Structure 1
Amino acid sequence: MMRAPPTLLLLVVLAGALAGGGGVEAALLKAHFYRHSCPVAETVVRDIVQASVAANPAALPARLLRLFFHDCFVRGCDASLLIDSTAGSTAEKDAAPNRSLGGFEIVDTAKAVLEAVPPGVVSCADIVALAARDAVSFQLGRDLWDVQLGRRDGVVSRASEALSDIPSPSDNFTTLEANFASKGLDVKDLVILSGAHTIGVGHCNLFSSRLFSSTTTGAVAPATDPTLNAAYAAQLRAACGSPSNNATTVPMDPESPARFDSHYYVNLKLGRGLFRSDAALLADRRAAGLIHALTKEGHFLKEFKNAVRKMGRVGVLTGDQGEIRRNCRVVNS
């Protein structure tokens, strides 16, 4: 068989990356990127994340996965979410959608260790990507997806961009589809990545409009969004108490809130999707058509690993773009 010329092979690789929504830069990501420059990188992150998750298994997997998602949806997967605000600039992490995020300290710990062996090599963006995978995979006892590495860190972080780019729990399907498409992600990716809501919690004020309505006198009365199961709505009203309650949280998956499984889709079919954006998936024929197959756990886990890897290539910086931040919270001076 005639061997393809190297230039042709490179074009094929680049075309594959572009088709996956990652662009030319994503083609430079690869497995075991730090094999020679920092061989312990992946082990250090895994050990720190797993020790933390073992101490808080109910909360940390969802927090670290959400951190990765929110980072990738603003400026791409460049760790711009980790940058602290300054006197002259409000950063992404202080935008309203990000104020309830957690897990920053775990990334900081991993970065501090890796800066010693050796400094300036492992990016904050890659640590976020690894931490999400390692946290979600802990309970499964195996890696749910492989992480390609080689991301570099961004140097710009704006709260205004987080407000405009991060999907809202109240979004309808049209808005969600357009948001994901702007990141090179399609309807299938939208449906599968929404399955991450099988773990974690939601604050009552983010879905209270589905539970309460205002009367003509201004008082608040019970109500039920017609797309929401009535019995489930009653449970949520009892837990939340009032539409302004932003302190109380409820599990996004009422059946198995700490297990990364396919129950999210089972709940959707029963009218128990917590957010309006969850229920919106049933409003589109294409999205609704994907949900039945995803109720099978093996199918969901297989599809999720493909979708989250694709998300991890969104807008990445590679080569000599960006920088390797010495401190994930501060741009290098």
Structure 2
Amino acid sequence: MVWGVFVAGMYTQAYVRADVGFVVGEALKAISRESRFHRVIADVIRWHKMYPDDWKRTWFEIQRKWSHEKECPDRAFDPFNIEASLNAAYIVLGLLYRQGDFGKTIDIATRAGQDSDCNSSNTGGILGYENIPNYWKCGLYRVENRNFDYVDMSLHEVCEASYDHALQMIATHRGRITDDSAEIVYQRVIPVKLEQSFENLFPKEKISHRWPFEEQNIDQEHREYRIEFEGNGIVISGNAVKKSMTFPIAIFGYMFCGWKLTEQISLPIQSLIRKTDIYWNYRLPEGKHTIKIEAMDHLYKNKITND
């Protein structure tokens, strides 16, 4: 949520001033100073002042201090982080170091890594459509009326909908709309409520490919999976896969914590709605635990795997 508040704040401030330093600073006022997110972005601003001609040094400082990941179980202990604050840092990195140059801005935001597609697109959007050189727009007309994959909307329709939403928001907040212009009432930035995720939670151990069955599966022959661990949270990664052309919509099973049935799990087989985690629980009491997954009766020609 905080990432959305910050990026939306930069978009709104971009209507008022072209100075990217102002845009970033004003948008950051919407984020609580006590939050990790605020500290990350404040560091990027500070490092930019320390190394104004060396974006790679600032990128290095971001990596050294903030690139650790604890939210994504598959990437714990790896040099990988796609959570919101780091991606926002890369957006700010591109904006501050190229001061309005569209091509160089998206170049830095892309080269920073991680979610490099959305980061570069957000930097470009903040700079504004009129500031996009024709070099970057020359092929748009050929695809702007083609629907995106999996949805019934084209780029042109998305832009029209976004424009309509913007006009509605301006009118809702006491702005004035004429035939050829819109006046926006400038509002003082108010920080949102402090919300922190995964406080006092740190990864302890990552166990890969240790299912106690042949091919690491829960299937018709091996109907349960059990693991013992010590801590206060666990994530079991995996998914349901089909073994024939006829298969149900989902595979179901039971999840036990100790001897207590905690929930029934559902694992959709279709790729568009599949789950990549079989089970997660970050609110266990500190101590030793036994987790057991037990399959229900209709695993015929299907299996649960963590391959």
Q: What TM-score do the two structures reach when normalised by structure 2? A: 0.23
Question: Which has the greater radius of gyration?
Answer: 2
- Give the TM-score, by structure 1 length: 0.22
Give the structure, 1 or 2, with the largest relative contact order (CA under 8 Å, sep 6 or more). Answer: 1
Greater percentage in strand: 2
